[in-house]
Amino acid sequence: MASAILLAGCASPSSPVVSAPSVVAAPAAPVPRAVDPSLLAPGSTRLGAVSCARGPAPLMPDPSASVDLNDPRQRALHALAQQYRPTPQRAPVPEAAVPGAEACVQLLAVTFSLVAAGTGRTPEASEIDGALRQAGLTKIVVDTGPVFSASTGEACVFGTFPAGEPEFMLGPLGADGSCGP
């Protein structure tokens, strides 16, 4: 069993007595033994989905949903959902794989934007490869351009950097489970 050590001490600022902090041992959070279904990609029952695909699905507008305009929370969620633009697809992607792939695209868009803002240039191949690996994507291919492809385990994410800004597309996995730019 793992434990955490907490250092605690208290004295009033005017107290002339200085005492050593006391040590209190507290149990750390237990390590999960079974796979939590909430860690799977949205709509997925497979463990093959990568970490970025297990995150929260993007807010997607439901055209049939009614919105109470008097409720500020519903108005805010509706406004956020209206800003959502689905990532273009090269070819049809299985419906269950789309939310996870979209979550990966959102994470990569933020990551690449931060790299570009910090360096003032388009990310280099090694930075792209590192960001894709950090997101948990597999079967990564980065070519000159730069262009890249990677697998979420259920779909492919393709990307380019025209004019320095990342552009993404989704696609189905190849017959061998790989993705090519």
Q: In the chain, where are the structural domains located?
A: 43-171
d(CA 64, CA 159): 32
pLDDT tens by residue, 75-125: 887 777 777 678 999 999 999 999 899 999 999 999 999 988 889 899 999
Average pLDDT score, the chain: 75
What's the pLDDT score for residue 88?
93
Q: How many C-beta atoms surround the C-beta of residue 94 within 10 A?
A: 13
SS3 168: strand
Confidence (pLDDT) at 140 = 94
Residue 23 scores a pLDDT above 70 = no
Round to whole Å and give the CA distance between 146 and 133: 16
CA distances to 86, 87, 116, 127, 177 from 93, rounded to whole Å, are 12, 11, 29, 27, 13
Q: Is the CB of residue 8 less than 8 Å from the CB of residue 20? A: no
> Model confidence over 3-18: pLDDT tens digits?
444 444 555 555 555 5
Other CB atoms within a 10 A radius of the CB of residue 42 amount to 19
